[in-house]
Amino acid sequence: MQETAVFDISMLNSEEAALEYLLSFCWPSGVRFCPRCGQHKLYKLSGGRYRCATCKYTFQDFSGRWINNGSLPSSTWLHLAHMFLQEYTVHELAQEVNLSYNAAYKAVTTIRFALLAHATDARQLLGPETGLGKYIKGKKLTGAPPARAKGAIPVFGIMERNGWVFIDLVSGIEAETVFHFNHSFHLALFRAGNIIYTGKYRQYDALILCGDDSLPYEYIRKYDHDFPIKEGSFWEFGHSRLKRFKGITPQRFPLYLKELEFRYNNRDGDTLSLLLSQLCDLVPDFTPFKK
């Protein structure tokens, strides 16, 4: 296995250095293989392309990988990933790397999908309960999928243990159920824009959901106190960040939750290398789980 190069800030200004760095994550063993059938016998073609001797698939280094969305230069991807970890807004990212807002937003969405795809519960989160998997067609991200079924707003549970946080999709509970628990059983409910979170519920420290205009927000019981935030906890880390996210929809909400889970659980590690390894990974086939 080849050793991954160490990131240097000068790579942001060199397309050649940035490409070499990203390729170390695409091919960590140093050996290329066909992303379609996995065979190692390849023919090298012009323009940085390869053809598989077995299945005849023609590809380039980023084919079939998350990073292949958007057709951005390697130095731009590296710059975006670096700034994403520093929590720049999409508008700030677009200005810094001279992209349109839509192009920067698509790149950030790609990063979030890559992070979610490496979560232990990725297949569930990309399944029919969220509809999020319909954003993926083949190995590419598409635009907006078909409209979400009315009332099918997923609910997530936050559970922190020994400094690690786990954010699960809670099957069998919908947004209306949470409002019912608040009204009938006094489950504490708090609102920050269209994000609703609760007090402790069963094994979870809190339930959380992203609502839309269909929810009866006016029925939330009023409390003279806010959600108790323990110093050094995930909620202290994530609460203000959730408030900063703009334009979240119920369908895209899992992307933001898994981003926070990634940031918190890797807060003391080499997050750039980990993020790039996931961004440069092959897109799995989620087709059976999207129906």
224 and 175 fall within a common domain: yes
Q: Express each pLDDT in 222-249 by its tens digit.
A: 655 566 677 778 988 988 888 888 778 8
How many structural domains are present in the chain?
Answer: 2
Within 10 angstroms of residue 55's Cβ, the number of other Cβ atoms is 11
Q: Is residue 262 part of a domain?
A: no
Confidence of residue 278 (pLDDT cuts 50, 70, 90): very high
Q: Is residue 142 part of a domain?
A: no
Amino acid identity of 2? Q
Q: Given strand 42-44, what is the order of strands in its sheet?
A: 42-44, 49-52, 58-60
Are the C-beta atoms of 165 and 119 separated by less than 8 Å?
no
Tell me, yes or no, whether 89 and 164 share the same domain. Answer: no
Beta bridge partners of 192: 195
Is 43 within a domain? Answer: no
Do residue 114 and residue 72 come from a single domain? yes
Residue 94 lies in a domain: yes
Pair (159, 200) in one structural domain: yes
Residue 117 is assigned to a structural domain of this protein: yes
**Do 153 and 232 have their domain in common?**
yes
For residue 277, tell me if it sits in a domain: no
Over range 218-223, report the average pLDDT.
68
- Shared-domain flag, residues 96 and 191: no
Write out pLDDT tens, residues 249-263: 888 999 999 999 999
- Which pLDDT score, from 0 to 100, does residue 245 have? 82
**Whether residues 232 and 172 fall in one domain:** yes
Residues 18 and 115 reside in one and the same domain: yes
Who has greater pLDDT, 128 or 223?
Answer: 128
Kindly report the backbone phi and psi dihedral angles of residue 207, in degrees, each rounded to the nearest multiple of 5, phi listed first: -100, 150
Mark whether 168 and 246 lie in a shared domain: yes
- Give the residue-averaged pLDDT of 64-92: 95
pLDDT band of 283, cuts 50, 70, 90: very high
Judgement on whether residues 108 and 171 belong to the same structural domain of the protein: no
**Which residues span the domain enclosing 156?**
149-250
Instruction: Look at the chain and count its residues.
Output: 291
Considering the domain boundaries, does residue 21 fall inside one?
Answer: yes
